[in-house]
């Protein structure tokens, strides 16, 4: 399986490639029902359907989803992609072969059209994120899971069961299958550094592990965890927020120091930095939340307004007295940062509509 000017033979599927493992069974069982390949990130969705197109164009002898789809419906959906995203868009190419993306950045009209086509059994293959689990009733026979992580965090048990509940729907199919495509889960299940992956999958499949309703903002105050989540070390939320406000590039330094100091306990630099990036995204979300209320008064938000907003959040309701005080301090710290960096009321109103943090919004404007 090769292309012109390629010197090395290519094979499909490659045993160690999770995307290949997901696509191979995904392309094969389409005669027996619809397939959804579930990805943890929108970028992964893109890489999966682009890889599918590459595999098809190389002439792999597989029966394609297009054969078991309604050709007229596929043509309509392809035209819809072309009109909205352009003829050169990778999604338009994949649509021609009966493979459709479904995630938060997919235009809403396209999402509705794909959902309708899946529901009516007019198309058979979708590559998606967890948006597919949010109230969408589709007749999926096979759900292929490429990752148990969702935007850098392990998917919640309740969210995972909501997702796998898309398969074998009552009145549509008598049964459904959930396949895990990550080869490491099984192949390295007995190795010390990777057996925790299999344990995570077992925990996700156990309904009794349902988590209580929580707020993502609590993650700001949680300790930094090792790769296998056995160990943790404290990274104070306010100190982290102050470092971010002072210089975002400096935030990576504490992560590197933690990884270096606790390397013997499986604190990899990559995973510690991932947790740091997640905290930054939450801090930016709080800044965006404050900015969205900033134009309520001519002079911005008073201290009382900031405290009112902090005390009205779900995270404030769920925490103890000590954490409540930390939440108040965090909101006040970020509100002060806004008032010092955005002094023009016109900018405050404009920035407030973006739902981004201060630095991201200023970077976009720049």
Asked whether residue 21 carries a pLDDT value surpassing 90, the answer given is no
Burial 67-99 (b: 16+ CB within 10 A, else e): ebbbeebbeebbebbbeebeeeeebbbbbbbbb
Q: Is the peptide bond before 13 cis (omega within 30 degrees of 0)?
A: yes
State the average pLDDT over residues 119-130: 86
Q: Per-residue pLDDT tens for 135-144? A: 556 778 888 8
- Highest averaged pLDDT of the listed ranges 74-88, 156-170, 182-196: 74-88
Under 8 Å between Cβ of 81 and 95: yes
pLDDT at 141: 84
More confident site: 6 or 83: 83
Q: What does the domain layout of the chain look like in residue ranges? A: 18-209, 216-365
| Whole-number Å distance between alpha carbons of 28 and 305 | 58
Whole-number average pLDDT of the chain: 79
Under 8 Å between Cβ of 173 and 141: yes
Pick the closest to residue 102 from 110, 86, 167 (CA basis).
110
More confident site: 95 or 261: 95
Asked whether residue 29 carries a pLDDT value surpassing 70, the answer given is no
Question: What's the whole-model pTM score?
Answer: 0.59
Asked whether residue 158 carries a pLDDT value surpassing 90, the answer given is no
Beta bridge partners of 102: 128
In eight-state DSSP terms, residue 103 is S
- Highest averaged pLDDT of the listed ranges 89-103, 174-188, 248-262: 89-103
Q: Per-residue pLDDT tens for 38-55? A: 887 788 888 888 888 888
Asked whether residue 73 carries a pLDDT value surpassing 90, the answer given is yes
Pick the closest to residue 144 from 167, 124, 122 (CA basis).
167
DSSP structure string for 208-221: GGPPPP--GGGGGG
Helices (H), the chain: 18-27, 42-57, 71-85, 90-96, 108-119, 157-164, 183-187, 195-205, 237-246, 252-261, 269-292, 303-311, 314-318, 321-341, 345-352, 358-365
State the average pLDDT over residues 74-98: 92
Asked whether residue 330 carries a pLDDT value surpassing 80, the answer given is yes
Residue 81 pLDDT grade (very low, low, confident, very high; cuts 50, 70, 90):
very high
Name the percent of the chain lying above pLDDT 90.
Answer: 8
| Whole-number Å distance between alpha carbons of 78 and 238 | 49
Asked whether residue 95 carries a pLDDT value surpassing 70, the answer given is yes
Phi, psi of 266 (to 5 degrees): 65, 40
> Residue 300 half-sphere exposure, CB side, CA atoms within 13 Å?
20
pLDDT at 76: 95
Asked whether residue 75 carries a pLDDT value surpassing 90, the answer given is yes
Give the chain's end-to-end CA distance (angstroms, integer).
Answer: 46
More confident site: 352 or 275: 275
115 burial type by CB count under 10 A (0-12 exposed, 13-18 middle, 19+ buried): middle
Count of positions (residues) in the chain: 366
CATH fold of 18-209 reads Rossmann fold (3.40.50)
């Amino acid at each position: 399986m090769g292309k012109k000017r390629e010197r090395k033979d290519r094979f499909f599927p490659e045993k160690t490639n999770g995307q290949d493992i997901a696509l191979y069974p995904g392309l094969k069982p389409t005669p027996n029902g619809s397939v959804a390949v579930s990805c943890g990130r929108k970028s992964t969705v893109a890489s999966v359907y682009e890889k599918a197109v590459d595999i098809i164009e190389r002439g792999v002898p597989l029966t394609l989803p297009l054969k078991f789809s309604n050709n007229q419906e596929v043509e309509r959906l392809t035209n819809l992609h072309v009109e909205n995203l352009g003829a050169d868009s990778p999604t338009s190419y994949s649509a021609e072969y009966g493979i459709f993306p479904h995630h938060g950045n997919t235009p809403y009209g396209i999402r509705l059209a794909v959902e309708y086509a899946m529901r009516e059994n007019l198309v058979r293959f979708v590559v998606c994120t967890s948006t597919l689990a949010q109230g969408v009733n589709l007749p999926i026979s096979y759900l292929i899971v490429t990752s148990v992580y969702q935007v850098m965090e392990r998917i919640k048990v309740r969210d995972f069961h909501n997702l796998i509940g898309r398969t074998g729907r009552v009145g549509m199919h008598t049964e459904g299958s959930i396949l895990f495509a990550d080869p490491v889960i099984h192949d390295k299940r007995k190795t010390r550094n990777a057996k925790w992956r299999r344990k995570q999958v077992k925990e996700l499949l156990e309904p009794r592990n349902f988590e209580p309703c929580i707020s993502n903002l609590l993650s700001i105050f949680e300790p930094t965890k090792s790769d296998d989540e056995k160990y943790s070390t404290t990274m104070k939320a306010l100190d982290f927020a102050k470092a971010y406000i002072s210089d975002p590039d400096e935030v990576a330094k504490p992560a590197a120091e933690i990884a270096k100091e606790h390397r013997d306990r499986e604190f990899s630099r990559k995973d510690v930095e991932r947790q740091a990036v997640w905290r930054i995204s939450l801090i930016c979300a709080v800044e965006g939340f404050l900015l969205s209320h900033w134009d309520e008064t001519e002079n911005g938000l008073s201290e009382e307004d900031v405290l009112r907003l902090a005390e009205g959040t779900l995270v404030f309701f769920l925490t103890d007295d000590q954490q409540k005080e930390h939440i108040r301090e965090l909101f006040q710290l970020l509100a002060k940062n806004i008032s010092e960096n955005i002094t023009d009321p016109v900018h405050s109103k404009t920035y407030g509509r973006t739902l981004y943090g201060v630095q991201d919004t200023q970077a976009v404007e720049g």
